[in-house]
């Protein structure tokens, strides 16, 4: 299934209007299965199915139709591709989106080999890791890329101003006054942009502008993410310490050697020997550990 996961990641988002539902969707289909991701900008749903699941569901929904899984997946690809690319679907095809509890079901009705063909994509809420992989990390990467582009453009504008200044000092004169510009001031430009352009620029709406204007950058960023992951397989894994349970943390604290709490400096506890040779020294220390009841801190 790794091929499906990586294939889905590099797919651009598409904007869908199904009745009153405005959705963002992406899909990746092979002869071994498919992966589908759908969002209404409030929630994200996902389904990944292999050839066995496709064959079983096709039998349940289409009693009269018999076809190998590869043919079914090929037909699903032919149905979804025009929808995601906003082109005309071949033949008679209809898509209906329903909410059933927390799930989202995309119902498809078409024809295959002259017989009615029905299919339901059963999408369940996506886990946080998947949302991060397909939305949070790519959007952060896109933001950093666009910020880098702004800095490069600002540098180019300053170089152009120096070039114009050199021309003027050499006696060059503009032939048309309307072409005259003021020297570029980055801070003033950013302040003016925040006041005049930001409200319109950051209007997300139903996501259609994001799909129309930024998908080439999105796919470039996700491909770069996959290349980095292939070069450094463990770079995205969480640190082992972050998965320590409260019980494990409690056990670690209880097993750590305690500093003496007695005010008498003449009874130090040896640090390298958990059981000292002198009984009278160890017993007071053990009794104090019991009275502290560290487990109560985690109850």
Query: Is residue 21 located within the same domain as residue 124?
Result: yes
Which CATH number belongs to the domain containing residue 165 in this structure? Answer: 1.10.287.450
Does residue 2 share a domain with residue 65? Answer: yes
Q: What is the pLDDT of residue 229?
A: 83
Provide the domain count of the chain.
2
Domain boundary, last residue among 129, 147, 176? 129
Look up the domain containing 217 and give its range: 138-231
77/27 Cα distance (integer angstroms): 9
Q: Distance between CA atoms of 122 and 131, rounded to whole angstroms? A: 18
User: What tokens does 4 get?
Assistant: 């499906």
Identify which has the larger pLDDT, 205 or 29. Answer: 29
pLDDT attached to residue 177: 86
Same domain, 168 and 216: yes
Whether 9 and 83 map to the same domain: the answer is yes
pLDDT tens-digit map of 22-67: 999 999 999 999 999 999 999 999 999 999 999 999 999 998 888 8
* Euclidean distance between CA atoms 284 and 267, whole angstroms: 10
- Is 110 in the same domain as 212? no
- Whether residue 125 is found in the same domain as residue 144: no
Co-location of 119 and 153 in the same domain? no
Q: For the chain, give the mean pLDDT.
A: 80
pTM: 0.70
The residue-averaged pLDDT of 78-96 equals 84
pLDDT of residue 197: 87
Does 51 fall in a domain?
A: yes
- Do residues 57 and 116 share a domain? yes
Domain-ending residue, one of 129, 150, 169: 129
pLDDT of residue 202: 84
Q: Is residue 267 part of a domain?
A: no
pLDDT reported for residue 65: 85
Which pLDDT belongs to residue 95?
93
Same domain, 125 and 210: no
Q: Which two tokens stand for residue 1?
A: 């299934």
Q: In the 3-class helix/strand/coil scheme, how is the chain assigned residue by residue?
A: CHHHHHHHHCCCCEEEEECCEEEEEEEEEECCEEEEEEECCCCEEEEEEEHHHHHHHHHHHCCCCCCCHHHHHHHHHHHHHHHHCCCCCCCCCEEEEEEECCEEEEEEEEEECCEEEEEEEEEEECCHHHHHHHHHHHHHHHHHHHHHHHHHHHHHHHHHHHHHHHHHHCCCCCCCHHHCCCCCCHHHHHHHHHHHCHHHHCCCCCCHHHHHHHHHHHHHHHHHHHHHHHHCCCCCCCCHHHHCCHHHHHHHHHHCCCCCCCCCCCCCCCCCCCCCCCHHHHHHHHHHHHHHCHHHHHC
Asked if residue 54 is part of any domain, the answer here is: yes
Residues 89 and 83: beta-carbon distance below 8 Å? yes
Residue 244 lies in a domain: no
Both 109 and 183 in one domain: the answer is: no
Task: Please give the share of the chain, as a percent, with pLDDT higher than 70.
Answer: 76
Task: Report the CATH number at residue 113.
Answer: 2.170.210.10
Q: Given 205, 231, 257, which residue is the final one in a domain?
A: 231
In a domain, 213, yes or no: yes
**Angular region, 117: left φ>0, alpha ψ -120 to 50, beta rest:** beta
Q: Is residue 144 located within the same domain as residue 93?
A: no
- Given a cut of 60, whether residue 125 has pLDDT beyond it is yes
Q: In whole angstroms, what is the distance from residue 31 CA to residue 70 CA? A: 5
Residues 47 and 162 in one domain: no
Q: What proportion of the chain, given as a percentage, has pLDDT over 90?
A: 52
């Amino acid at each position: 299934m790794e091929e499906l996961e990586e294939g889905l990641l590099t797919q651009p988002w598409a904007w869908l209007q199904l009745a009153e539902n405005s959705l963002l969707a992406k899909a990746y289909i092979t002869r071994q299965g498919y992966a589908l991701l759908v969002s209404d900008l409030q929630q994200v749903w996902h389904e990944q199915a292999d050839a066995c699941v496709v064959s079983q569901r096709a039998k349940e929904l289409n009693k009269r139709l018999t076809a190998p899984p590869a043919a079914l997946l090929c037909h699903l690809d032919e149905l979804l591709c025009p929808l995601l690319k906003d082109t005309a679907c071949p033949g008679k095809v209809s898509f209906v989106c329903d909410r059933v509890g927390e799930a989202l079901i995309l119902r498809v009705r078409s024809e295959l080999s002259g017989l009615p063909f029905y299919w339901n994509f059963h999408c369940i809420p996506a886990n946080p890791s998947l949302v991060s992989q397909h939305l949070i990390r790519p959007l952060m990467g896109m933001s950093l890329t666009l910020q880098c582009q702004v800095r490069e453009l600002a540098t180019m504008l300053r170089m152009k101003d120096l070039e114009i200044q050199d021309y003027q000092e050499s006696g060059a004169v503009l032939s048309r006054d309307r072409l005259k510009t003021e020297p570029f001031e980055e801070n003033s430009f950013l302040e003016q942009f925040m006041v005049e352009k930001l409200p319109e620029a950051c209007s997300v709406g139903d996501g259609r502008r994001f799909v129309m204007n930024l998908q080439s950058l999105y796919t470039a960023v996700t491909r770069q993410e996959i290349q980095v992951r292939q070069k450094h397989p463990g770079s995205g894994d969480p640190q082992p310490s972050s998965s320590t349970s409260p019980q494990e943390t409690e056990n670690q604290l209880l097993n750590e050697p305690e500093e003496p709490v007695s005010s008498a400096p003449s009874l130090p506890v040896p640090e390298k020997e958990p059981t000292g040779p002198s009984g009278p020294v160890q017993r007071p220390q053990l009794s104090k550990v019991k009275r502290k009841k560290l487990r109560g801190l985690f109850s």
